Amino acid sequence: MLSNWIDADAYLFDIDGTLLNAYGGAHYNAFHSALRHSFNLNCKIDGVPLHGNTDIGILRAVLRREGLTDADFDKHRASLLEHMCEQVELNRAQIRAEVCPAITELVALLSEQGKLLGIASGNLAKIGWMKLEAAGLRDYFSFGAFADQCETREDIFRSGVAEVKRRLGPTATVCIVGDTPADIEAAKATGLPIVAVATGIYSREQLQQCEPDVSVASCQEIVNSAR
């Protein structure tokens, strides 16, 4: 099942639940600070689907729940996102990033094989890179596609693929590595193969129901298959 996992020219990795799990509340609290700052809202993002979502998708959902519109978000978008990033930067010492099993071995192996590694994440770029720095993974990745400019996961993947092809040429092949049904659905919608890893909140069985190209309990299985 994993015999061809290393055939792609480039790999796009999701962050949360795939590369690492972040704790400490810096990102979570930044949402609330930004909502107070831009809309004078004292509300929580709790209850909005987070896993497989994007930072902008989360913000839009919270505002809709509070009776505001997408136009309200768009009016304050720049200051809202800037404030979020500033808050995470201010509290970056609180970021606790637990690297998912065998990720360091996998990205090191792919790098040794000459593969181009990128990020495709629903985080805002500055926040995503801070998490990767906290996990000691930043230097493995050459570029990233984030939610700042691409609100949907499909568009984030398309942006990542476009950058791969800009760097490697139009025939370059790309594989996604993610941990949610949303990753699988977006990969299928964009015609990309995906390795689904059950290191987030979804079990392998739940991920298999979405019919990814490959599903594993963790990236340890992938590393073992390459040895």
Report the helix count and the strand count for the chain, using DSSP H and E.
Answer: 9, 8
Supply the pTM of this predicted model.
Answer: 0.95
Q: What are phi and psi of 18, to 5 degrees?
A: -110, -60
Per residue in 23-52, pLDDT tens? Answer: 999 999 999 999 999 999 999 999 999 999
Instruction: Give tens-digit pLDDT for 193-217.
Output: 999 999 999 999 999 999 999 999 9
At 102-153, the pLDDT tens digits run 999 999 999 999 999 999 999 999 999 999 999 999 999 999 999 998 989 9
Residue 212's nearest CA partner among 172, 186, 161, 224 is: 186
Tell me the pLDDT band of 2, cut-offs 50, 70 and 90.
very low
Domain ranges across the chain: 10-22+96-226, 26-93
Distance CA 38, CA 28 (A): 16
pLDDT band at 4 (very low <50, low <70, confident <90, very high): low
Sign (positive or negative) of CA dihedral 59, 164, 203, 92 = negative
Task: Average the pLDDT over 176-182 and give the result.
Answer: 97
Alpha-carbon gap, residue 43 to 41, rounded angstroms: 6
Q: For domain 10-22+96-226, say whether CATH 3.40.50.1000 is its number.
A: yes
Burial of 93 per CB tally in 10 Å (0-12, 13-18, 19+): exposed
